């Protein structure tokens, strides 16, 4: 029998959820608000919340100073292709771990995830030297490869979790009907896992979009994505807070819009199997 | 249904992006320049088209935050990555990188450029063994910026070259907690270029030094204890709340809002505190950084300079750009378009012989401050290193970052000054021994 929830408790829960949501969203809201202030208003103490002379001046300056579209295009290509490539590699890997596990499968999964704990700066020089040798410094190809590798453990882990939810008997039936391994993965497993693959794609696209260490260190003028665009407005000597906020807002806007459209998939993806 | 909605949104977003994306025209010779984000550098970027029109050489800018830029260009130059044709570096990196052969010597600049016009203090700090390795775009020292109205209200008069005791006394007199006015605002933020730079420059005026002639750490000396205790006591009494985390920007913000009686910081800040964003622009005075009667003022010396990494394939074009950006014609172009107060300061002697520039309120004090800093003889006792607010050795940045963290923790009350100094001594001794000194 389902537990009854009183309307008062519902109200408290809703209020709490809104409060937590607002606290989490506040830095983004503050960045957006600051982007419409003058530099003097941006640093005012006490801070000004809503009642200031709204201006688009910062956006005009950022637009004039930087080639925003070039940074944006690089971000789209690098985040998009690295995520797609990662999923293409991870689907067969996750399939084998979910449906033909060995006794070391769990250890391999954990080991893959543990590579995320390695401080990136520890391998900066080796990777930089490899990139010089291969001639892929400051290229989209180089960043696609690195970001794909960086996010691969998460992609494999997420897909593995989804695939584990799919009954193995269905795949077995497909095999008995004569499906090859390729057909089994492409035409039976993948369609059933579309929601899971979609949320994996989305989450990893966001991770790749936001990645700042490699994208700053392996690029110069050609392949720099929006993370470099933001970094160009940060300064320890001079007040650029309003302009920095305008640049940040422009950098996060596409991903915010994408996140808005896909919030259900994201939540579903992140909570999948959580109550098992 | 929701999946469809998501895919529709994603496709629409991507379509919009693809539709708006524009191609970038290719140029025959393109220089890639790594630089910092500050007012003078951004202004120079705005004039790049003039350079391209004059020479046919295109320029791509990679602008990064100062610390990110340091890491980025250091990685590139140590691996001979060749990503940049020109790098914006400072007085700390230039002699070290020049000694390592990582930079192209700038000993063959044209006669019209007149390299002899570079201020000797700047040329000295950007050279190794007498060879110039980076051309200064602008130079700075540090000085006192103070509120003339508050000083007058306190019944005091700022001397041209005040002592630390006077500063502490004036700070106490100007502090009005009810009116949210702090007598003095100084950098306490961790980081060798933030609070670390300030306390090192201050320590020089107290007769302290980082190392003795045999590279032994000196934090266990009375001079260092006096420096850090004086700083903490004065800031606790007259500084803003949370000063342990304040850097240049935080103090600039406080000063511009009328919440600081005095601010001792980079001379480039003079144009900010007298500019349009300042609420106290009409009542700002300038004085030399304080001293302790030992013959040394607490001011630093720094330059942002343009250097050519040895790995570039376009050294000639890079030299052309450097001559354009750091030459006298550029200064005159900026002055003609934006006024003399906005030209890059502190790099050329001729700028300080120009009566138009000397009419700018902070010009003379900036020059006096720069001239009073001596990188080869920064403190009272002799030292084995070059640099005023740093020691130009590769190990310094790492050591000083850690040491300044200990000092910031002491400012914040998380440990005593004595504990911070003891840790600083241990950190420095260990790192220097490990480095083979």
Domain count, chain A: 1
- Could you give the C-alpha distances from B415 to B45, B96, B229, B243, B354, in angstroms and in order? 45, 34, 12, 15, 50
Give the position of tokens 């260009």: B73
B84, B194, B277 ranked by CB distance to A239: nearest: B277
pLDDT at A273: 55
Contact between chains at A239 and B252 (C-beta distance less than 8 A): yes
Closest residue of B to A76, CA-based? B14
For chain B, what percent of residues have pLDDT higher than 70? 94
Q: Is residue A30 assigned to a domain?
A: no
pLDDT at B262: 98
Mean local confidence (pLDDT), B25-45:
83
Nearest CA to B142 among B280, B312, B267, B249? Answer: B267
Of A239-243, B72-76, B138-142, B328-332, least confident by mean pLDDT is A239-243
- Could you give the C-alpha distances from B138 to A167, B85, B240, B306, in angstroms and in order? 69, 19, 30, 10
- As for the ipTM of the complex, it is 0.83
| pLDDT for residue B5 is more than 70 | no
pLDDT at B17: 41
pLDDT at B1: 41
| pLDDT for residue A4 is more than 70 | no
| pLDDT for residue A212 is more than 90 | yes
Question: Which pLDDT band, with edges at 50, 70 and 90, does B7 fall under?
Answer: very low
Question: Which pLDDT band, with edges at 50, 70 and 90, does B273 fall under?
Answer: very high
Q: Is there a common fold for B30-133+302-365 and B141-300+377-434?
A: yes
Contact between chains at A236 and B247 (C-beta distance less than 8 A): yes
**CA–CA min distance B321, chain A (Å):** 17
pLDDT at A117: 87
Nearest CA to A227 among A241, A206, A201, A257? Answer: A206
> pLDDT, tens digit, for every residue of B196-249?
999 999 999 999 999 999 999 999 999 999 999 999 999 999 999 999 999 998
B17, B76, B79 ranked by CB distance to A76: nearest: B17
Contacts of A257 in chain B (CB under 8 A): 9, 13
pLDDT at B132: 97
Closest residue of B to A218, CA-based? B72
Q: Comparing A208 with B23, which gets the higher pLDDT?
A: A208
Q: Is residue A141 assigned to a domain?
A: yes
Q: Is residue A79 assigned to a domain?
A: yes
pTM above 0.90, yes or no: no
A69, A228, A238 ranked by CB distance to B22: nearest: A69
Q: Comparing A271 with B20, which gets the higher pLDDT?
A: A271
Q: Is residue A19 assigned to a domain?
A: no
Contacts of B75 in chain A (CB under 8 A): 124-125, 128, 217
**Whole-angstrom Cα distance, residue B103 to residue B124?**
16
| pLDDT for residue A128 is more than 80 | yes
pLDDT at B21: 38
pLDDT at B9: 53
Q: Is residue A10 assigned to a domain?
A: no
Contacts of A234 in chain B (CB under 8 A): 37, 65, 68
**What CATH number did the domain enclosing A113 receive?**
1.10.3720.10
Mean pLDDT of chain A: 90
pLDDT at B426: 97
Question: Which pLDDT band, with edges at 50, 70 and 90, does B3 fall under?
Answer: very low
Q: What class has domain B141-300+377-434?
A: alpha beta
- Could you give the C-alpha distances from B242 to A246, B189, B363, B409, B411, in angstroms and in order? 27, 10, 32, 11, 9
Closest residue of A to B47, CA-based? A65
> pLDDT, tens digit, for every residue of B405-415?
999 999 999 99
| pLDDT for residue A127 is more than 50 | yes
pLDDT at A2: 52
Q: Which helix (H) or strand (E) holds B25?
A: none
B interface mutation test: which of A122, A215, A221, A268 has the most B CBs within 10 A?
A221
Contact between chains at B10 and A261 (C-beta distance less than 8 A): yes
| pLDDT for residue B22 is more than 60 | no
Question: DSSP state, B349?
Answer: G
**CA–CA min distance B269, chain A (Å):** 8
Nearest CA to B400 among B95, B89, B228, B190? Answer: B190
Nearest CA to B254 among B156, B341, B167, B188? Answer: B188
Q: Is residue A184 assigned to a domain?
A: yes
Q: Where do the domains of chain B lie? A: 30-133+302-365, 141-300+377-434
Mean local confidence (pLDDT), A195-203:
89
Mean local confidence (pLDDT), A175-183:
89
Across the A/B interface, how many CB contacts are shorter than 8 Å? Answer: 137
B13, B60, B65 ranked by CB distance to A235: nearest: B65
- Could you give the C-alpha distances from B380 to A242, B299, B344, in angstroms and in order? 43, 14, 31
| pLDDT for residue A33 is more than 60 | yes
Contact between chains at B259 and A45 (C-beta distance less than 8 A): yes
Most trustworthy range by pLDDT among A164-168, B63-67, B147-151, B250-254 = B147-151
SS3 A209: helix
Q: Which DSSP string corresponds to B112-158?
A: TT-GGGB-HHHHHHTEETTEE-SEEEEEEEEEEEEEHHHHHHTT---
Q: Is residue A211 assigned to a domain?
A: yes
A interface mutation test: which of B1, B4, B7, B10 has the most A CBs within 10 A?
B10
> pLDDT, tens digit, for every residue of B382-436?
999 999 999 999 999 999 999 999 999 999 999 999 999 999 999 999 999 999 9
| pLDDT for residue B19 is more than 70 | no
pLDDT at A199: 87
Contacts of A220 in chain B (CB under 8 A): 32, 34, 60, 62, 83-84
Contacts of B8 in chain A (CB under 8 A): 261
Contacts of A202 in chain B (CB under 8 A): 6
Mean pLDDT of chain B: 91
Residues 6 or more apart whose CB falls under 8 angstroms from that of B11 comprise: none
Closest residue of A to B64, CA-based? A232
Mean local confidence (pLDDT), B44-53:
94
Contact between chains at A265 and B259 (C-beta distance less than 8 A): no
From the candidate CATH numbers 3.40.50.850, 3.40.190.10, 3.40.50.970, 3.40.50.300, the one assigned to the domain spanning B30-133+302-365:
3.40.190.10
Contact between chains at A238 and B81 (C-beta distance less than 8 A): no
Domain range for A158 is 66-232
């Amino acid at each position: 029998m389902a537990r009854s929830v009183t309307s008062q408790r519902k109200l408290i829960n809703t209020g709490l959820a809104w409060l937590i949501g607002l606290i989490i969203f506040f830095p983004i809201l503050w960045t957006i608000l600051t982007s419409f202030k003058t530099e003097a208003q941006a640093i005012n103490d006490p801070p000004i919340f809503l009642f200031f002379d709204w201006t688009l001046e910062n956006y005009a300056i950022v637009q004039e100073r930087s080639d925003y579209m070039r940074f944006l295009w690089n971000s789209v290509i690098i985040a998009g292709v690295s995520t797609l490539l990662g999923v293409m590699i991870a689907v067969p890997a996750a399939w084998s771990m979910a449906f033909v596990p060995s006794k070391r499968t769990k250890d391999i999964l954990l080991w893959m995830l543990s590579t995320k704990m390695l401080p990136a700066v520890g391998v900066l020089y080796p990777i930089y030297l490899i990139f010089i040798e291969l001639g892929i410094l400051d290229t989209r190809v180089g960043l696609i490869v690195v970001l794909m590798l960086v996010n691969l453990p998460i992609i494999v882990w997420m897909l593995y979790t989804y695939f584990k939810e799919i009954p193995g008997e269905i795949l077995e039936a497909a095999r008995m009907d004569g499906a090859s391994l390729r057909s089994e993965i492409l035409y039976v497993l993948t369609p059933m896992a579309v929601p899971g693959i979609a949320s994996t794609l989305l989450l990893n696209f966001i991770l790749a979009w936001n990645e700042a260490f490699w994208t700053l260190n392996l690029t110069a003028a050609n392949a720099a994505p929006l993370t470099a665009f933001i970094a160009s407005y940060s300064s320890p000597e001079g007040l650029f807070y309003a302009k920095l906020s305008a640049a940040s807002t422009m950098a996060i806007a596409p991903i915010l819009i994408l996140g808005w459209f896909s919030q259900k998939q994201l939540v579903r993806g992140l909570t999948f199997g959580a109550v098992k | 249904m929701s999946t469809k909605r998501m895919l529709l949104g994603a496709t629409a977003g991507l379509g919009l992006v693809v539709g708006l994306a524009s191609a970038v025209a290719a140029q025959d010779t393109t220089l890639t320049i790594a630089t910092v984000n500050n007012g003078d550098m951004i202004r120079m970027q705005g004039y790049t088209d003039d350079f391209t029109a004059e020479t046919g050489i295109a320029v791509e800018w990679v602008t990064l935050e100062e610390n990110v830029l340091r890491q980025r260009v250091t990685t590139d130059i140590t691996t001979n990555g060749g990503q940049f044709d020109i790098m914006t570096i400072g007085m700390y990196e230039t002699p070290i990188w020049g000694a390592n052969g990582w930079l192209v010597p700038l000993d063959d600049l044209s006669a019209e450029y007149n390299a002899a016009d570079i201020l000797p203090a700047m040329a000295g700090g950007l050279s190794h063994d007498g060879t110039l390795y980076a051309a200064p775009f602008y130079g700075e020292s540090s000085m006192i910026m103070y509120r003339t109205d508050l000083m007058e209200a306190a019944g005091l008069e700022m001397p041209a070259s005040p002592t630390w005791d006077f500063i502490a006394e004036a700070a106490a007199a100007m502090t009005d907690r009810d009116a949210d006015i702090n007598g003095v605002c100084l950098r306490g933020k961790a980081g060798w270029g933030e609070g670390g730079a300030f306390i090192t420059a201050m320590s020089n005026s107290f007769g302290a030094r980082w190392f003795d002639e045999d590279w032994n750490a000196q934090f266990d000396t009375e001079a260092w204890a006096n420096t850090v205790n004086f700083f903490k006591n004065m800031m606790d009494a007259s500084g803003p709340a949370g000063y342990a985390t304040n850097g240049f920007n935080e103090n600039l913000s406080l000063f511009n809002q009328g919440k600081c009686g005095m601010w001792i910081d980079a001379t480039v800040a003079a144009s900010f505190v007298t500019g349009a964003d300042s609420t106290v622009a009409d009542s700002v005075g300038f004085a030399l950084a304080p001293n302790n009667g030992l013959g040394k003022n607490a001011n630093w010396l720094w330059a942002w300079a343009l250097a050519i990494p040895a790995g570039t394939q376009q050294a000639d074009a890079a030299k052309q750009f450097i001559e354009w950006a750091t030459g006298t014609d550029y200064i005159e172009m900026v002055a003609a378009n934006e006024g003399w107060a906005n030209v890059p300061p502190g790099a050329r002697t001729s700028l300080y012989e120009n009566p138009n520039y000397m009419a700018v309120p902070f010009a003379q004090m900036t020059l006096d401050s720069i001239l009073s800093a001596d990188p080869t003889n920064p403190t009272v006792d002799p030292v084995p290193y070059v640099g005023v607010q740093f020691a130009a050795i590769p190990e310094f940045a790492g050591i000083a970052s850690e040491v300044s963290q200990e000092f910031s923790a002491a400012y914040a009350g998380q440990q005593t000054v004595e504990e911070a100094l003891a840790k600083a001594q241990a950190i420095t001794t260990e790192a220097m021994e490990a480095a083979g000194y």
